A and B are shown apart, each in its own frame.
Chain A
Amino acid sequence: MTGRHQRASDRLSRTLSGAMERVGPALGRVRLAAPSAVRRLGRPAAVAGAVAATGAGAYAATRAWVRRPEAAPGEGMDLHAAVTVKRPRDEVYRFWHGFEQLSAFMAHVESVTTVGGVTHWTARGPAGKAVEWDARIVEDLRDEVISWRSTRAALVPNSGSVRFRDAPGGRGTEVRVHLRYDPPGGRAGLAVARLLGEHPEQQVRDDLRRFKQVMETGEVVRSEGSPEGARALRQLRRRPAQPVR
């Protein structure tokens, strides 16, 4: 293989992981090039075709099993995520119910404080700008469900619930989180978009992954390459797997 082709395929392999991160409908429309086409075409053309087709092919292969609509800007946003935690249901419920502990695994939540039935949330977006809001518990059934809704003063109206269920066959507890954000648009909408990033559902999944780590092992699992723990959005800017100085 010549250096030029080598570099092209190197670039491809680097960008492939980036492409994998992006949830977009466009790639679904790209047709896979047949292997015979690769043989028929000249080498540079074949490589170029392969580059285009491989992105689509690998994408199709990994995405074949999931199809998730994305919220349009300005509309409300519904997020779901679920995880199975190998701990008893009452323990899992209790941990969540101690709202102050939620910041241990919610990446951008700085702190949660509770006064009466109202929780005060402080979060920090990637730009470092603090966002604060109050939420009122609207339903709290022991070992079953906790749901909340932001108070009227919240910049971004939001609500959410977490439901707990015994997993079958002694597998622990199934935890299902549902969040809804109603950004009003304008600067407030921008603030919430910044806070949630481009892939809010991925962030919720990462939060639940860390929740599971904390419940099962007592710690957020970190590596030198990903010192902040499970956070898919940071992985394109990851550092090498070397000790942190």
Chain B
Amino acid sequence: MKAACWMGRGNVEVREVPDPRILNGHDAIVRVTSTAVCGSDLHLYDGFVPTMKKGDILGHEFMGEVVEVGPDVRNLRVGDRVVVPFTIACGRCAACGLGLYSVCENSNPNAGLAEKFLGHSPAGAFGHSHMLGGYPGGQAEYVRVPFADVGPITIEDGLADEQVLFLSDILPAGWMGAEMCDIKPGDVVAVWGAGPVGQFAVAGAYLMGAEQVVCIDRFAYRLRIAERAGATTLDYEEVDVRDALLDLTAGRGPDACVDAVGMEAHYANPALYAYDRTKQATRLESDRPYALREAVMNCRNGGIVAVIGLYTGFLDKFPMGAVMNRSLTLKAGQCHVQRYLKPLLALIREGDIDPSFVITHRLPLGEAPRGYQLFRDKQDGCNKVVLTP
């Protein structure tokens, strides 16, 4: 089959690889009908995520048709149309029992390696480094889905792929970011990052009753999409974010701040940007935390900072004094996708949200390399790439 493979920093190739086969009783094989490139794929593409190996199949946002099921999968049948969550969860451990699927205790066969970097191991994930399991991803014609009796949600009705594909990651990720804000009437929520996850966080925060949602980025085309989702937008290269937030909230600061940027943040101040960029390039720190620093510093006293942007390692100059002295609550997590599939599918079905508004590019799988390049370089207004095998 054909699959988009990571061949080194900045190098994705569509290659011919063996077809997947059932390895465990709880597996299913899915023929991929739609798959997308995620912002976190760009961190892999840019070479910032450790434990990648040349030849790894990328992709963790995908959906398709079940073509084979293992003997222990009883809820799916050949021919079922499914969306597959990007985190792999066994559904039977203590973490899964608590709904914390992205920290499933059993799904990462390389847990020992992850523990060295992270202390304890999170769940395994599709197409996302060997630290997270070494599972081939879904930017391919076929994919093996472990614990297929737990993750995939069946899409029975006439909804289009593009309406439901993002249930696999970015829609619930943005939603969870908003949910972590514990939104009360009158709350102002600020979202750093107007990428698709930030755009969904904006939409989610409004559906949860936020008074106003402010979205901060530097790309006009992304801010325009966030605006369509209802956000008040700030271009941090044009305005002083702190002044603007103080003005919008009459000095209080946002009640909750969402970091939907993560480890490869940009900064309007060239000197500060160069400082962190150099340290990251020389591996003195693995992650560049401007958005997070700014979110912490601007959040109102006693407010919530929710981190849904991807971080993989270590930060420098984290304003812990602000967190501690101002009674901030820091929340974070990879999305527990399985938890949100049903409620969000219901919202899509009822027309409360149509996630396809984030898509700007539709390409065949064979053009995955171009999709990665357009998305990374922010060319051609590239907000979200959907690939069709």
Contact = CB atoms under 8 A, between A and B. Distances in A.
Given A206-B112, A230-B110, A218 B72 contact: yes
A224 B20 contact: yes
Given A50-B282, A223-B133, A227-B23, A17 B50 contact: yes
A216 interface: yes
A62 B118 CA distance: 7
A215 B277 CA distance: 46
Contacts of B3: 242
Which of B19, B106, B127, B316 has its CB near the most chain A CB atoms (within 10 A)? Answer: B106
A230 B205 CA distance: 40
B136 to A, nearest CB: 5
Contacts of A235: 110, 112-113, 130
A180 to B, nearest CB: 22
Interface of B: 3, 5, 9, 17-21, 23-26, 47, 50-51, 53-57, 72, 90, 92-94, 97, 105-113, 116-117, 119, 124, 127, 130-131, 133-137, 144, 146-147, 278-279, 281-284, 286, 313-314, 316
B94 A84 contact: yes
Given A9-B281, A38-B278, A216 B90 contact: yes
Q: Kindly name the residue among A5, A20, A217, A242 whose own CB sees the greatest number of chain B CB atoms within 10 A.
A: A217
A222 B137 contact: no
Given A172-B94, A219-B25, A242 B17 contact: yes
14 contacts: A5-B281, A20-B113, A57-B284, A86-B93, A171-B94, A218-B72, A221-B108, A221-B109, A222-B109, A224-B23, A225-B134, A225-B135, A225-B136, A235-B110
Contact of B56 (A38, A53, A205, A225): A225
Interface string A230-245: 1110010011111111
A38 B26 CA distance: 51
A148 to B, nearest CB: 26
Contacts of A53: 284
Nearest to B117: A62
Interface residues of A, number: 58
Contact of A47 (B53, B137, B282): B282
A219 B24 contact: yes
The 9 lowest CB-CB distance pairs between A and B, nearest first, are A225-B134, A240-B55, A232-B112, A50-B282, A20-B116, A243-B20, A245-B18, A241-B56, A54-B283
A137 B348 CA distance: 60
A14 B23 CA distance: 29
Interface of A: 1, 5, 9-10, 12-13, 16-17, 20-21, 35, 38, 46-47, 50-51, 53-54, 57-58, 61-62, 65, 84, 86, 171-172, 202, 205-206, 209, 212-213, 216-227, 229-232, 235, 238-245
B26 A217 contact: yes
A156 to B, nearest CB: 25
Nearest to B72: A218
A171 B108 CA distance: 20
B338 to A, nearest CB: 15
Nearest to A219: B24
B327 to A, nearest CB: 26
B130 A241 contact: yes
A92 to B, nearest CB: 14
Contacts of A61: 314
Nearest to A224: B136
Contacts of A86: 92-94, 97
Contacts of A226: 109-110, 130, 133-134
Contacts of B136: 223-225, 241-243
Given A219-B26, A225-B134, A241 B127 contact: yes
A24 B347 CA distance: 53
Most buried by A among B5, B110, B281: B110
